[in-house]
Structure 1
Amino acid sequence: MRVSTVCAAALSVGFASAGSWFGGSQEIVTKDVEKVPGDSPLEFCDTDHSNDIIKIESVDLSPNPPETGAELVIKATGTVYETIQDGAKVNLVVKYGLIRLISTTADLCEQVENVDLKCPIEKGVLSLTKAVEIPKEVPPGTYNVYAEVINYDGKPVTCLQATVKFGGSKADMGDL
């Protein structure tokens, strides 16, 4: 799976957006978490979200779950309570089963260009729709994504996680 596709989906969602999309923990948290409103596998990380700069109102994926070799349309809406400026970071971890494929910190302002946004991201309501192609070469299996967004001054923007299974039936997949 291309990093840009994962990042695009992650940032679109993180920005109620996060599409290309995150410092803090590099582990995927799978405790009792709250589902992100809408039709997607996204959940908020098991952390305090009372000071998040973005309140995600909904994220819809079509199709849900995403399918290899198909276009994935991400629709997200939310409210930005404080301007997100240059220097914001994204901590992104992608695992294939138990294997860590990606563990990186990226410049958020560079990544949001993948979802047709640019920094600074001003206060107010934010809506976006982005279509991305999921390559047909994505190996079947279970993918866990963790994306934590931190503003330039260290304030939390949002933190999201998801588990997506590609290929085969759920009964055939099991936990890799």
Structure 2
Amino acid sequence: DKAGFEVVEANKEKATFGPTQMYKGKIQGKVGEFRVNNTGQSDLFVNVFRSGIPEKSDTSAYTRTVGITRNIDKVTSNTFRQTQSYIVRLNIDSERALTNVILADLLPAGFEIENPRLLSNAATQNTEGGNVLRPSYLEMRDDRLIAAFDNLPRGTHTFSYVVRAVT
């Protein structure tokens, strides 16, 4: 039983491979194409991995059981001052009680999270009323904040954290 395959990569010559060979290709840019032809009599298995960031992403708001809105205190425009701290308030509206909830809030470039364990003031306290959420686990990464909640009761809740404009 002879196995083999051909790969035609966009704008390149066809390459032929035998039964023990493997092909790895990489395309950079907006559009790419690989065509794989089975030249043998055996089944051919193809794995494709792709990654990238969409040119346009859907940013329209929607809610399915849990809705989250983000507000940054004392910001009236999209202008942020370097070294200035800002309180980010996440308003979480849950249609029903949930368990084991993970919240990951991505940070825009140019901000870093202030470690709440080191803050001496009550900057992250909810000053506008409502139910304040305390996570059972909190992780601060370079590009996001991750908070885990064992229980998320039904209703509207607030979780706050502080970011600093660094660039």
**TM-score class normalised by the smaller sequence:** 0.3 to 0.5
Select the structure with the greater relative contact order (CA < 8 A; seq sep ≥ 6).
1
Higher helix share: 1
TM-score of the two chains, using structure 1 as the length reference? 0.32
TM-score of the two chains, using structure 2 as the length reference? 0.33
